[in-house]
Amino acid sequence: MPGRKPLKPGPVLVFLAFLVLGASFVFPFLYMFLNAFKSTPEYYKSTFKLPEHYNWANFATMVSQFRIQVNMLNSLFISMSAVLLTTAVGMLAAYVFAKRPFRKSHAVYLVIIFSMFMPNQVTLIPLYFLYSKLGLINTPFAVIICSLAAGIPACIMLLTAYFKGIPDEICEAAILDGCGFFGIIRNVIFPLGKPAIAVNATFVFLRTWNDFLTPLVLLTKRETQTVVVALSALVSRYQSDPPYQMAGLTIATIPAIVMYLFLQKYLVEGVNAGSIK
C-alpha cells in the first residue's frame, strides 16, 4: 500500500500516558461534583457510582442554610476591587519605569521586585494589630489593601516589561498632540498594553479569590468572610455529611473554573511571560 505509514508505537504510548495523567486531574473534580448530588447514605453506600438522581437539594441547602452566596459576593467584591486598584497603581508606576526613567529609578524598581516574595505570614502579624487599632478587622478594605500590596510587585514587573516594547515614537507623537501624563496613559499605554494588563488582571483576580491566609486572619465574622475562608467553617459543620461538603467545594470552585475556560490562553502564556504563580 503506497503512502500509508505503519502506526508507530511511540506516539500511541505517549497519548495513553497523557490520558492517564489527565484522568488524575479530572477525577477528583468530577468526584467532587457528582457526589454533591448524593444523599449521605447513598454516598457511603456507592461512592464511585453515578448519583441515582440529579437533585440539587444539597446546593440549595448551601444557599438557604449556609448562605454561601453572601460569601461568594464578598469574594467577588474583594477580588474585583483588588484587580482595579492593582491595575491602576501598577500601570502608573510601570509607565514611569518603562518610559520615564529617572536617576535611581532602576534601583527603586529592583527593591519593589525584591518585595515580591516576602511571605504574608510575616507582614500579617503587625498588620492585624494595626487594623484592629483602626477598627478595620472584618472589613473588605483590610483584605483588599493586603492583596494590593502583595500584587503590586508582580504587576509592575509584568507591565514594565510589556510597556518597554511600546515604541517611543507613539508616546512622542502623543506629547506633540498635547497629551499630558494621564493623556498618554489613556490614549497610548492602556490601549496598547491591554494584553499584559489582561494577563495581570486574571492573575490578581484568581490569587485574591483563592487566597486563604490573609482573609482567614482579617475576617473573623462568617458574614464578612470570603468563600474560601467560609469553606473551613463549612467543612467542620458538615463533618459527617460529605455530600454537603462536596456541594460547598463545588460552588466555591466554579467561578475559578469558568474564568479559566475563558482566559486559559492568557494564563498559560502568562506563566512564561513573567513566571508568575
Identity of residue 82:
A
* Residues in 67-86 at the binding interface with other proteins, rule: CB under 8 A: none
Q: Considering the rule CB under 8 A, would residue 26 count as an interface residue with other proteins?
A: yes
Q: Which three cell numbers stand for residue 77?
A: 467584591
- Of the candidate spans 9-17, 51-59, 65-73, 191-199, the one that interacts with other proteins by CB under 8 A turns out to be 9-17
> How far from 216 is each of 59, 220, 275, CA to CA, in Å?
24, 7, 27
For position 277 contacting other proteins by CB under 8 A, the verdict is: yes
Report the half-sphere exposure of 79 (CA within 13 A, side-chain side).
26
Q: Considering only residues 105, 164, 177, 183, which one is a binding residue for other proteins as defined by CB under 8 A?
A: 105
Instruction: Rule CB under 8 A: say whether 253 interacts with other proteins.
Output: yes
Neighbours of 21 (CB within 10 A): 9
Output b/e per residue, 246-259; b: 16+ Cβ within 10 A: bbbbbbbbebeeeb
- Applying the rule CB under 8 A, the residues between 186 and 215 that interact with other proteins are 206, 209-213
Residue 101 CA, chain-centre distance (Å), reads 31
Q: Which of 73, 129, 134, 141 binds other proteins (CB under 8 A)?
A: 129
CB of 46 to other proteins, least distance (A): 10
Q: Which is nearer to other proteins, 70 or 241 (CB)?
A: 241
Any idea what DSSP says for residue 166? S
Do residues 266 and 202 make contact, with C-beta atoms less than 8 angstroms apart? yes
Q: Between residues 2 and 19, which has the closer beta carbon with respect to other proteins?
A: 19
- By CB under 8 A, is residue 262 in contact with other proteins? no
Interacting residue with other proteins among 80, 84, 92, 198 (CB under 8 A): 92
Determine, following the binding rule CB under 8 A, whether residue 40 of this chain makes contact with other proteins. no
